[in-house]
């Protein structure tokens, strides 16, 4: 007997080239079979999801879930298992002086899996601005905390913003890189100076220091320090970084996603790898809303459903280094499943500059399976639920 069959949905699993009606069988928290017409009598529980999409558990590779410490942090499960997302990467909400609460209070109390990137600023994002002096960084303690918490921490996060860059310049991301290499983890760097103050050409110094496996986040930012120069051209270091194996994440957030910048980047041949929210409490209410709405925005930009699913499952699993167990329905992987519905409509999608695109389909979460446990989707972030604005 299986513990669970997710039955009759359209399974899209880019890691195996699957796109068609299939059943997914789960036992002991693992995927044990993907096949059409598995007899329902063979399972203790059957979820009939005919008419819906069934994809490997969505991985949101840039979020903020240090609820109660970082003032804008979201309660993980609201943006996680109750929103169709099975794994959230916390991108630098905590630093070496504040990380301790994560494994004690956040991770064990969340059904959603949480993977942390430790901010190079010792207090993380508990206070703003994050770095306001060289003493905001404690390199030794950052290396120590990251090294001692390898089961929770997959990387070091740095933010290319003012005043950190005005005070420290490139020493700041170099310190973050050193911490990452000494702890044996990845480096994730936020690009785009939300204060609009620092030299926009800083990107050309930053990208060459990023190595294979490191992650650039906010690729479509319109703020100074993004990958498009003043003449509208893609800086050559961006494609060079991608060719080297640097992961490119798009993290929408409240101030770092422009359809026009994204289109210019795509027109010049640079493809991002990951879709993510940069979810915060105000972002969930006002601009980002949800992972499924982010995916809808990429559909509206002309990406195919297969591409959008790849960028929300297989690619982020590889970017974070958890593809041995997540991001795929291969037999033996962790039983993380996202069931999504496609809603027909005349949908209007906004970026952070107020520019919009339209699309005739919107994605919304239905039910989520995490390590074999079933979670119904909650009420969405809008007064009317999960759907975007109507045109």
Nearer to Zn ion, 91 or 106 (CB): 91
Burial class (CB in 10 A: 0-12, 13-18, 19+), 292: buried
Name which of 218 and 264 has its Cβ closer to Zn ion. Answer: 218
| Tokens representing residue 217 in the block | 């986040």
Closest approach of Zn ion to the CB of residue 153, in Å = 16
CA neighbours closer than 13 Å in the CB half-sphere of residue 69: 21
Between 177 and 252, name the residue whose CB sits nearer to Zn ion: 252
Instruction: Please work out the total of residues on this chain that contact Zn ion, with binding judged by CB under 5 A.
Output: 2
Question: Which has the closest alpha carbon to 311: 17, 9, 10, 59?
Answer: 59
What is the 8-class DSSP label of residue 386?
A: S
Per CB under 5 A, 249 contacts Zn ion: no
Stretch touching Zn ion by CB under 5 A, among 83-91, 115-123, 208-216, 290-298: 83-91
Within 150-209, the residues that bind Zn ion by CB under 5 A are none
Closest contact distance (angstroms) between CB of 341 and Zn ion is 28
CB of 128 to Zn ion, least distance (A): 12
Q: In angstroms, what is the minimal distance from the CB of 9 to Zn ion?
A: 32
Interacting span for Zn ion (CB under 5 A) from 19-27, 30-38, 70-78, 272-280: 272-280
Contact between 56 and 13 (Cβ < 8 Å): yes
86-125 footprint of Zn ion as x/- string (CB under 5 A): -----x----------------------------------
Backbone dihedral region for residue 371 (phi beyond 0: left; psi -120 to 50: alpha; all else: beta)? left
> Between residues 7 and 254, which has the closer beta carbon with respect to Zn ion?
254
Residues in the chain: 391
Q: Return the number of the residue (281 or 348) whose C-beta is nearest Zn ion.
A: 281
Query: What's the token pair of residue 282?
Result: 């105000």
From 178-186, 240-248, 270-278, 314-322, span contacting Zn ion (CB under 5 A) = 270-278
Binding Zn ion (rule: CB under 5 A), the pick from 214, 278, 293, 351 is 278
**How far, in Å, CA of 338 to CA of 173, rounded?**
35
In the complex with Zn ion, the residue whose CB is nearer, 64 or 370, is: 64
Q: What CA–CA distance (Å, rounded) separates 255 from 55?
A: 29
* Complete DSSP assignment for 308-344: HHHTTTHHHHHHHT-TTTSS---TTSB--EEEEEEEE
Distance in Å, CB of 53 to Zn ion, minimum: 27
Burial 212-238 (b: 16+ CB within 10 A, else e): ebbbbbbbbbbbbbbbbeeeeebbebb
CA distances from 250 to 50, 199, 202, 273, 391 (A): 31, 21, 19, 8, 25
Question: Which is it for strands 30-35 and 337-350: parallel, antiparallel or unpaired?
Answer: unpaired
State in angstroms the smallest separation of the CB of 136 from Zn ion: 17
Pick between residue 319 and residue 339 the one whose CB is nearest to Zn ion. 319
Residue 49-68 contact track with Zn ion, rule CB under 5 A, x = bound: --------------------
C-beta closer to Zn ion: residue 26 or 91: 91
- Shortest CB 62 distance to Zn ion, Å: 6
From the list 138-146, 277-285, 301-309, 340-348, the region that binds Zn ion by CB under 5 A is 277-285
State whether residue 145 is helix, strand or coil. Answer: helix
Could you tell me the smallest distance in angstroms from the CB atom of residue 125 to Zn ion?
Answer: 8
Q: Residue 24 CB, nearest distance to Zn ion (Å)?
A: 32
- Minimum CB separation of residue 234 from Zn ion in Å reads 23
Contacts by 376-381 with C-beta closer than 8 Å and gap 24+?
A: 376/82, 377/82, 377/83, 377/84, 378/78, 378/82, 378/83, 380/83, 380/289, 380/290, 381/284, 381/285, 381/289, 381/290
- CB-wise, 190 or 333, nearer to Zn ion? 190
Q: With CA atoms as reference, report the closest residue to 154 among 320, 274, 323.
A: 320
Residue 13 vs 249, nearer CB to Zn ion: 249
The residue ranges that bind Zn ion (CB under 5 A) are 91, 278
């Amino acid at each position: 007997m299986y513990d669970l069959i997710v039955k009759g949905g359209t399974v899209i699993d880019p890691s195996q080239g699957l796109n068609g009606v299939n059943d997914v069988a789960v036992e002991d928290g693992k995927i044990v079979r993907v096949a059409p017409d598995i007899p329902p009598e063979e399972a203790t529980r059957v979820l009939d999801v005919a008419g819906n999409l069934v994809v490997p558990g969505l991985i949101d590779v840039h979020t903020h879930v240090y609820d109660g410490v970082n003032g804008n942090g979201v309660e993980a499960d609201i943006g996680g298992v109750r929103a169709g997302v099975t794994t959230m990467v916390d991108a630098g909400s905590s630093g070496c002086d504040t990380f301790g609460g994560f494994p004690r209070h956040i991770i064990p109390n969340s059904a959603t899996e949480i993977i942390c990137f430790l901010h190079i600023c010792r207090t993380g994002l508990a206070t703003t601005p994050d770095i306001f002096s060289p003493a905001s960084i404690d390199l030794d303690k950052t290396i120590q905390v990251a090294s001692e918490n390898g089961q929770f921490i997959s990387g070091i996060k740095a933010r290319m913003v003012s005043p950190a860059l005005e005070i420290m310049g490139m020493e700041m991301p170099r310190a973050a890189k050193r911490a990452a290499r000494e702890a044996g983890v990845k480096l994730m760097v936020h690009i785009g100076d939300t204060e609009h103050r620092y030299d926009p050409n800083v990107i050309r110094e930053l990208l060459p220091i990023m190595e294979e496996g490191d992650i650039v986040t906010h690729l479509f930012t319109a703020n100074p320090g993004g990958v498009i120069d003043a003449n509208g051209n893609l800086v050559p270091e961006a494609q060079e970084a991608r060719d080297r194996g640097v992961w490119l994440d798009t993290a929408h957030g409240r101030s770092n996603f422009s359809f026009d910048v994204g289109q210019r980047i795509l027109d010049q041949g640079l493809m991002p790898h990951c879709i993510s929210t940069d979810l915060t409490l105000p972002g969930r209410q006002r601009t980002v809303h949800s992972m499924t709405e982010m995916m809808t925005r990429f559909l509206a930009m002309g990406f195919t459903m297969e591409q959008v699913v790849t960028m929300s499952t297989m690619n982020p699993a590889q970017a974070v280094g958890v593809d041995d167990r997540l991001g795929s329905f291969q037999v033996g992987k962790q039983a993380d499943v996202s069931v999504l519905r496609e809603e027909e409509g005349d949908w209007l999608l906004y970026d952070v500059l107020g520019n919009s695109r339209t699309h005739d389909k919107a994605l919304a979460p239905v039910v989520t399976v995490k390590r074999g446990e079933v979670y119904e989707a909650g009420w969405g972030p809008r007064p009317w639920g999960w759907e975007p604005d109507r045109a």
